[in-house]
Amino acid sequence: MRALIAHFHVISASVWLGCVVTEAMFERALLGRGPEFERTLAALHWRVDLGIELPALLLTVLSGGWLFFLAPHWSAVWWFKFGAGTLAVAANLACIGLVRLRQTKADAGDWAGFARVDAAQHRWGAVVALGLLAALGLGVVLHA
């Protein structure tokens, strides 16, 4: 049973990471190309957050919580993995809030506000990516 949950956890975390990478590609393609592109980017990013990223994040948290309680022992590497994953979750939740706020700024035509929120959202997005990569990498170390 633990192995099945661990596989599900890796799959859900991989979907989450894939979503983060896809959103980064949207950002690179559409940001800075003018208000209409940025409105489209803000709306698209918000829809992906709600429809794919948030469900994948929640499934990762649920399966990770289950694995937490099934763990026979908690090594230092395991605690670093837990910390990296927790950091990624917290940063992603902050990011989702910023994505929504950025869409609100775009819809209102507040481009100065959009730029401020966009910068913060990208900083938090980098934390998400680093935390996810660290947690997945440490997971490989733990199960190799």
For position 2, what pLDDT does the model report?
A: 82
For position 76, what pLDDT does the model report?
A: 87
For position 53, what pLDDT does the model report?
A: 96
The C-alpha angle with vertex 93 and arms to 91 and 95, in degrees rounded to 5, equals 70
Which segments of the chain have a pLDDT < 70? Answer: 143-144
Phi, psi (degrees; rounded to nearest 5) at 13:
-65, -35
Q: How far is CA 35 from the centre of its chain?
A: 25
Rounded CA-CA distance 127/106 in Å is: 24
For position 107, what pLDDT does the model report?
A: 96
For position 56, what pLDDT does the model report?
A: 97
For position 66, what pLDDT does the model report?
A: 93
pTM of the model: 0.90
For position 29, what pLDDT does the model report?
A: 95
Element (H, E) at 15: helix 2-30
For position 27, what pLDDT does the model report?
A: 94
| Helices 54-70 + 2-30 axis angle, to 10 | 150
Q: How many domains does the chain fold into?
A: 1
In terms of residue numbers, what domain contains 10?
A: 2-69+76-143
Please state, rounded to an integer, the average pLDDT across all residues of the chain. 93
Other residues' Cβ atoms within 10 Å of the Cβ of residue 116: 14
For position 141, what pLDDT does the model report?
A: 79
For position 42, what pLDDT does the model report?
A: 96
DSSP state of 73: -
Element (H, E) at 51: none
